[in-house]
Every structure is written in C-alpha cells, then in structure tokens.
Amino acid sequence: MIRRELSVLSRSSPAFSRAFSQCLARRREVLPTTSSPIVSKLDFFNSVSTKEKQIPTFRLLDGVGKPLEGAELPEIDEALAHRLYEHMQLLPTLDNILYNVQRQGKISFYYGEEATIIGSASALDMDDERSDGTLGQYREMGVLLWRGFSLDKVMAQCFGNEEDTSGKGRQMPVHFGSPEHHFHTISSPLATQIPQAAGVAYALRRTPSRRSRSIAACYFGEGAASEGDFHAGMMLASTIPSPVLYIARNNGFAISTPANEQYNGDGIASRGPGYGIDTIRVDGNDVLAVMTAVKEARRRCLEQGRAVLVEAMSYRVGHHSTSDDSFAYRARAEVEDRKRIDNPITRFRLFMESRGWWNADAEAELKARLKDDVLKSFRRAESLKRCELGELFTDVYGGEEPWNIREQRQELTGLLKKYGQAWEPWRKELSKFKNNGEDLLKRESS
C-alpha cells in the first residue's frame, strides 16, 4: 500500500523519483540471504582467509619446550605438569605392550597422540554428574584414563574378560565405553559419532541441570572428516545450535592415505566457517596449546550454545593399527625424523626441566613404574575368564525380550547340549567362559 502510494508520488516529482530509485538500489547492495557486499569485479576464492594469509596454527611452546615470544601460558603448577606428563608417557607404554600382545595372538586388534588427547582431556569438565559427554573414535583411551578409568578396565576390555564393563566381551578391543566417566561407547563404523555428538549436545542443552554446564566433545581424525557423516553432523550442529566441541586429529594419514590425497583444501579448519562455526587450528604436539585452545573452545560452546571446531595438527608416528604396516607407504627415515625433531613428550619434558620440575632420575622412575603397572594389569587380565556365555543375549534391547533373541539363545543352548562335551574344540572354547556355558543350560532347563 505504502509502496504503491510512493510510486504515484514518484511519477509527479522527478527529484523524488531519483531519490526513491537510489533508496531501492541501496537496499539491494546486500542480498537477503547474506551480508556479503556487492562488487562489480570477478573475485573467485578457495580459502577462508585472504590470498595473503593462510589459516594460522596456535602454539605456545617451540620444539625444545621454550615458550614463544609473547605467549601467554595457562595456569599450571608442578603437580598438574606431572599429571599431564605421566598420562602422556602412559599412552606409548600401553601402546608398546598391547601391540606386542596382539602380535602374540592374545588379543585380536589394537590401535595406538599424546599431547592432543591429554591436553584436550585436561580442559574438559569432569564434575561427576555434570561432566562433559565424550564421543571418541579409536585413539581417545587417554581421555578415559585422565578421568579415572583404570588400567585393569583397559586390559579387561582388550581381552574381553569377565571384568569388561565396556561391553562384556562382545566388542572389538579398544572400543571403550563408560557411563560412569561420561564416555559414549565407541562404534566401529567411521564418523558415526559426529552427527551423534550434535544430538547429544542438543539433549544437554534441553536438560535444565546440564544446560550451561556441560558440552559434548567429539573426537575424529581427518580421514573421518571425508565421510558424509562429518557434513551431516556439522550441518545439524550449526542449524540447530548445540554446545558440541568437535576435535579433529589431523595426524597426516587416514590408514594408508596421506592428507594431500584426502582433500584439496586447507585442512579441516577451513570447513568450519562454511557452517558458521567458530574454528581454531592448534599445534597438536604442544600439550599446553591444546589445553588452552580446548578450554577457550569449551567456554565458547557454553556461552554461545553453539558448536566450535578445533583442528589439532600432529603426525602419526605409529602404524594406523595392528593390521597396518605404515612403512609400505612412507619412509622409515621420515618417521624417525618426526620422532626426533617434533616429539610432543620430549617437548613437554624439556619445558618441565626448564622449570626445575623434572630430571633424569624422575624420568627413569616414571618409565619403570608405568611399565610395571601395565604389565601387572596385563597378567591379571590374561588370567581371567570371559563373561558367562549367556551374556551374549543380554543388554541388546530394552523392555521385553524379543522373539529373535529368545530363539537364538535356544538354538545355541541346543548346540551346547549336542556338541558341548562331545567335541574337543567346543570343550576347549567353553572352558574360556565363566561357568563353562552352564548358565545357558541351567536357564533353559528351568
């Protein structure tokens, strides 16, 4: 109505017509769906930064543990430094022993980034009932250990024995889970945890006791970011705002595929701004930088109620898993150079030594103690039996037991009656289970 009247006025006054046209033109300088300015020159771009500037990497300590000029270190005392360093040393100790255990055929599988995992774990909240929820991939055992998950529980899960609280021996090794430690059970399919984390964070936002107190932290590698689930999760987290912190471990390789063959862009950090998500790239081999970046990212998640993306740049010096020989696709000398030149454990140890918090004697004592603790847990786990055979059918569905589970249990029970004691391979296998499978026979007979 008003616009029609103005149009009539414009025909009766040339000056008013010119002013009205200029006003409409100015309104069109910014399109309805974007705040991008209108320009008359072609300007193609393929980075989130200007042509003169690449995405920066946040770092506090250089390669020999010295603070960079102007760096603001987080508040850290000797006790916290010792705890950080002990957990960083514990991870390769576990890696070495469990790799050897797998090679001996005692466990079926094993995966093995110290500063990225421990630095981020230390920045997340662990306040009992309101701890931040964590969704890991395969390399986040350090988060659980930082939260108090014991070595015995680690070994129990890898062996699948009767003390396995993660899955009662029904899952592959290193697929941990712990409601007590707010750690969602790891799934084998790649990247499924990324959209799930957006849903977890949204649920936290809708829970009065957790709102403004807890976030969901989601870990994944740069290889997982090539999956469609990555984009689904980022889209969900950005369009239905939720406090989810995405931590991408860019260690240079997705199994045997190097990063330069995975994407033609500036890492994973360049993708965050496309979804309107605050993003930072951090040196994943600098534990203090990771701690600082994740702590600030967590604060932003809570205050804004939105997702934040952290890309931690590292290098995988180990094989991808026990089923991988990385020297088939990269030079051994390259790996050894990385270990020597940019070692996250060495970097932090040198920092502590410069503060007078560490020395050679403490180093020797720590390594000996950690190795002894891991071996003790290994020997204990190796001696324990598996869960009762009947546990195969429990905790699968909630509510009333469905017919298919009941039918499968009855079928196995019938096979036990027929072959359990008559065939040596079955007798040998049943002896590994608690009660030798008798729990199933007693259940059906009653």
- Do 164 and 183 lie in one domain? The reply is yes
- Do 378 and 395 lie in one domain? The reply is no
- The 3-class SS string of the chain reads CHHHHHHHHHHHCHHHHHHHHHHHHHHCCECCCCCCECCCCCCCCCCCCCCCCCCCCECCECCCCCECCCCCCCCCCHHHHHHHHHHHHHHHHHHHHHHHHHHCCCCCCCCCCHHHHHHHHHHCCCCHHHCCEEECCCCCHHHHHHCCCCHHHHHHHHHCECCCCCCCCCCCCCCCCEHHHCEECCCCCCCCHHHHHHHHHHHHHCCCCCCCCCCEEEEEECCHHHCHHHHHHHHHHHHCCCCEEEEEEECCEECCEEHHHCCCCCCCHHHCHHHCCEEEEEECCCHHHHHHHHHHHHHHHHHHCCCEEEEEECCCCCCCCCCCCHHHCCCHHHHHHHHHHCCHHHHHHHHHHHCCCCCHHHHHHHHHHHHHHHHHHHHHHHHCCEEEHHHHHCCCCCCCCCHHHHHHHHHHHHHHHHHCCCCHHHHHHHCCEEHHHHHHHHHHHC
- Do 154 and 280 lie in one domain? The reply is yes
Domain boundary among 383, 405, 428: 383
Alpha-carbon distance values, 439 to 131, 141, 392, 429 (Å):
37, 33, 12, 15
Q: How many domains does the chain have?
A: 2
pTM for this entry:
0.86
- Do 425 and 299 lie in one domain? The reply is no
- Do 90 and 136 lie in one domain? The reply is yes
Considering the domain boundaries, does residue 149 fall inside one? yes
- Of the candidates 248, 237, 247, the residue with the CA atom closest to the CA atom of residue 205: 237
- Do 401 and 255 lie in one domain? The reply is no
- Of the candidates 238, 233, 248, 237, the residue with the CA atom closest to the CA atom of residue 195: 233
- Do 140 and 189 lie in one domain? The reply is yes
pLDDT tens by residue, 10-39:
555 666 566 655 654 555 555 666 677 777
Q: Contact 445/417 with Cβ under 8 angstroms?
A: no
- Do 134 and 250 lie in one domain? The reply is yes
Considering the domain boundaries, does residue 339 fall inside one? yes
Considering the domain boundaries, does residue 128 fall inside one? yes
- Do 350 and 393 lie in one domain? The reply is no
Considering the domain boundaries, does residue 214 fall inside one? yes
- Do 309 and 423 lie in one domain? The reply is no
- Do 432 and 374 lie in one domain? The reply is no
Considering the domain boundaries, does residue 45 fall inside one? no
- At 113 the pLDDT is 81
CATH code for the domain of 95: 3.40.50.970
- At 441 the pLDDT is 85
Considering the domain boundaries, does residue 400 fall inside one? yes
Considering the domain boundaries, does residue 58 fall inside one? no
In which domain, by residue range, is 262 found? 78-383
- Do 104 and 233 lie in one domain? The reply is yes
- At 256 the pLDDT is 73
Grouped pLDDT means (10 residues each) for the chain, 446 residues? 52 61 54 71 69 83 94 96 97 86 69 83 86 92 95 94 93 92 93 97 93 94 92 95 95 77 85 93 94 96 95 76 60 66 90 97 98 96 94 88 93 92 91 91 74
